[in-house]
Amino acid sequence: MPRTALTWVAVTPFAAWAVARVAGLERGSLPTQLMTATPYAAAGSLLPLLIAALGRRRAATVVALLATTALGFSVLPRALGTADAAKGRPLQVMTVNMLFGKADVGTILQLVREFRPDVLSTQELTPGAVADLDTAGLKELMPYRVLEDEWNASGSGLFSRHPMEPLTSWSAPAGHHMPAATIELPGGEPIEFIDAHPFPPLGPQVTDWKRALESFPSASPDRIRIIAGDFNASLDHSSMRRLLARGYKDAADEVGAGLIPTWPANKKVPPLITIDHVLVDRRVGVQEVSVRDVPRTDHRAVLARLTVP
């Protein structure tokens, strides 16, 4: 095969990936899942660029350069954010997927005592996990809760240090439970909080996954809203970007922590993709986001320090 043809074989997949990412063209289950690997595609796109440039294939070099640039601009800003110095009421949020309730309760309580979250958002929360958390001391630390726990992956629950009531104006579409609450945050108006856990985009579930992301309410001028949990989506998914465009920002992205992977944790392979998020109203300041390991679950916990106007 001529060298020119070989060069195009190397360049074309990355160029196609860049077009799909920028234009939001992923369709169906497999392309949707592959899109989470965009940060790796951005790094890998440097190789065909080098091949084309060293081979002096001018057209291929131009296409490869455009692909690398497009992928780089899609990915790199997530590592370049800075803390927001906005003043306001402090709000600390923690979210963790408990993997059918099997996550290590001792580690979760240690993080709660260390980080002192105002709100703990949990996914795959079972009745047994609720009992174990309360036995370990969560009942005293975070006595208010809105729970939809189940003996399967659909269970979810919100725990809070402050009084909260179920939010009945929004209900989750088909999929995992996604409870919502109004929280009486001290020093001002209440906030709304939604525990996110759409189905993963596997096979025909990709339709429910997309519908769930579309169903989250847009930001409102009348009430600060936060959506946190396991979105089974990354910022490289067009559905996720459309949700952000409706008045939200990704907390980790804001402070340069948007490329820290959260799944799969505690496996033979290290965490690879970022699908656990804290989305905040654009008026909310983001001071810090960190990611912590929790034994016996395949997700890492995400902790965010915020300021609410």
pLDDT in tens, 257-304: 999 999 999 999 999 999 999 999 999 999 999 999 999 999 999 999
176-179, long-range: CB < 8 A, 24+ apart: 176/123, 177/148, 177/150, 178/212, 178/229, 179/146, 179/147, 179/148
CA 173 from centre of chain = 19
Q: Helix, strand or coil for residue 181? A: strand
Residue 16 pLDDT > 90? yes
Average pLDDT over the chain, rounded to an integer: 96
Structural domains in the chain plus CATH codes: 3-79 (no CATH), 89-308 (3.60.10.10)
- State if pTM tops 0.85: yes
Residue 1 pLDDT > 60? no
Predicted confidence (pLDDT) per residue in 186-234, tens digit: 999 999 999 999 999 999 999 999 999 999 999 999 999 999 999 999 9
Q: Can you spell out the DSSP letters for 84-143?
A: ----SEEEEEEEEE-TTTTS-HHHHHHHHHHH--SEEEEES--HHHHHHHHHHTHHHH--
Count of CB atoms situated within 10 Å of the CB of 25: 12
**CB of 276 closer than 8 Å to CB of 59:** no
Distance CA 94, CA 112 (A): 8
Q: How confident is the model at residue 169 (pLDDT cuts 50, 70, 90)?
A: confident
Distance CA 104, CA 30 (A): 32
Distance CA 4, CA 8 (A): 6
